[in-house]
Structures are given as C-alpha cells and as structure tokens.
Amino acid sequence: MAKYIIKRFFMMIATILIIATLTFALMHTIPGSPFDDERTSNPTIQANLEKFYKLDEPMHIQYLYYLKSIVTFDFGPSIKKPNESVNELLARGFPISFELGMVTILVALLSGVTLGTFAALRHNGIIDYTAMTFAVVGISVPNFVLATLLIQQIAVNLEWLPPATWSSPLHMILPTLALATGPTAIIARLTRSSMLEVLTQDYIKMARAKGLSPVRIVVRHALRNALMPVVTIMGTMLAGILTGTFVIERIFAIPGMGKYFVESINNRDYPVIMGSTVFYSAFLVFMLFLVDIVYGFLDPRIKLHRKEGDA
C-alpha cells in the first residue's frame, strides 16, 4: 500500500504539471491582451500593467513565475479585480461550489443506489421499467436544459421554490436536482445491472438456503459487491459534477467558483484562469486518488502493486 501511495503521489504531481503547462500554453496562444480595453488603451499604462503582472517577461520566465506560484500557492492579484487576490476568490467561491457538488453527490448516490437496487429486486416489473425509463431520460437531458425547465415550472409558474441565489437550504433544491439527475440515472443503471449479476451468485443462494432475511442478504452480502462499478466511476463522476457546477452556478446566480471562472475567461484574467484551473485539477486528481484507495479496501482481490518478479 505504501509503495502504491508513493507511486500515485508522483503520478498526481506529473498530471498537475502537465495540466498547468497546457493551461499556460493555451492562455498565451490566444491573440490579444487582458489590457485591451478603453481604460488601458494608453501605451504607457498598458506597459506598466504588463510589467506589474510580469507579462513583459520572456515566455519561459513567465512560466517559471507561474510554477513558483503553484508551489507556493500564491497566484497573485486578479487583473480585473486588483484589490483581490486569486487566493481570496478561491477561498470565497470554492466552498460554495464544493457544498453544491457534495450535496449533489450525496443525493445521486442515495437515490441512484436505492432506485437501482429496487429495480433489480423487482426485475421486469413496474418498478424496474419505471426506474429505467427515468434513467434513460436523466442521461439524455443535459443539466442546463433541466435547470431552465425547473426554474420555469417550479420557481416561476408554481412558485414553490426560489429561482436563484444561494442564501438558504431552499435555494439548494433546484440546482441540486438539476445536477443530480444525470448522475442518479447512471448510478441507478450500474447498480441494477451489477445487482442482477450478484443476486445469481452461489453465496447469495447459500445465504437464502440458510434462511437469512431478504433485507440482510441484500444489505450485508449483495450490495457491497454490487457497488464496485459505482465506486469505480465515482472519481470521474465527481470531476464531472464539480466542473458541471460552473454552468449551473451561472444559471442559478450562485456565487461559487463558476461565476469567477466564467468572468475570468470573458475578461482574460490570466491569474484567475490559471489559478482556478490548477486548484481544481489538483483537487480532482486527489479525489481520484482517494477513490482508488477506497476501491482497494472494498475489494481485497485487487492488488495495489505488482508481485515481485512481474515485469
């Protein structure tokens, strides 16, 4: 386990470095300058600003400054909000995005596993057909389309819930539903197919022959093995949900990182773009690493390192 963790750690560092390098290269291949507006049209003002943000340095020097900011986790001030640093924007926006993402993951896991389990237990029944119909619809409809429908029908027409902002638990319901529907459908389908396979295994038949209750068989014996495919996709699903919150945050006017990230792209705010990209990349790579560790503990048959002598 120690060797595997060390190996994965260096792979994480390499992945983050590659992402940071690609982000830096892409940002500097876009024509123009973040100071191309009326307020900085004066060549002297623009030159002073480029010097302050070290954008007048050669490209390789800028890249070294960028790597230093990653190592020290100090991305400097925002170009469009010079009174605020990128770290302050991350500290203000990320907790909201993280809260929305974690609530979405929790809702998707609980509802998806429950729906998939009942569909498997009532195979070819009305519950099974209803659950799989929901799964197909949930996978097919993009979350931003669902978000606009929820706002129009539930918030505007019925006036059951507030349509936007992030000031109370009621404001969390609609964006969570918009984000969680797709992952719920995927988890439900995976749980159902895996549970159907597990329920035909010999140890499940043996448990039934011993007279164990159906609830105990499902909860203690079948569900753990049926969740293996779900655990496998949790890392990539978490990445999709946390990055998907950017669009949902804009639709529901949530003051999370999505707001600052989209604004930074529109304003070509290099420090915010590169700082938030590296921060999210490091966070998501770390979460994928945790998923690998959890998967190894859940299934002891998985070997985290090669045996001696294997090439």
Give the pLDDT of residue 221. 77
Residue 62 · residue 53 · CB < 8 Å? no
Give the pLDDT of residue 107. 93
Burial (Cβ within 10 Å: 0-12, 13-18, ≥19) of residue 266: exposed
Nearest to 238 by CA among 177, 168, 288, 307: 288
143-195 tens-digit pLDDT:
889 999 999 999 889 889 888 878 888 888 999 999 999 899 999 999 899 88
Q: Which two tokens stand for residue 227?
A: 């969740």
- The predicted model scores a pTM of 0.77
Give the pLDDT of residue 307. 44
Q: 70-74, long-range: CB within 8 Å, 24+ apart, which pairs?
A: 70/16, 70/20, 70/278
pLDDT at 308 over 60: no
Give the pLDDT of residue 184. 92
pLDDT at 303 over 60: no
Residue 12 · residue 289 · CB < 8 Å? yes
What is the DSSP secondary structure assignment for residue 40, as one 8-state letter? G
- CATH fit for domain 95-253, picks 3.40.50.1000, 1.10.3110.10, 1.10.3720.10, 1.25.40.340: 1.10.3720.10
What is the DSSP secondary structure assignment for residue 307, as one 8-state letter? P
What proportions of the chain, in percent to the nearest 5, are helix, strand and coil?
75, 0, 25
- What is the Cα–Cα distance from 20 to 242, expressed in whole angstroms? 19
Mean predicted confidence (pLDDT) in 80-92: 86
pLDDT at 304 over 50: no
Percent of the chain scoring above 70 in pLDDT: 91
221-272 tens-digit pLDDT:
788 778 878 877 877 787 777 766 778 888 888 888 888 888 888 778 888 8
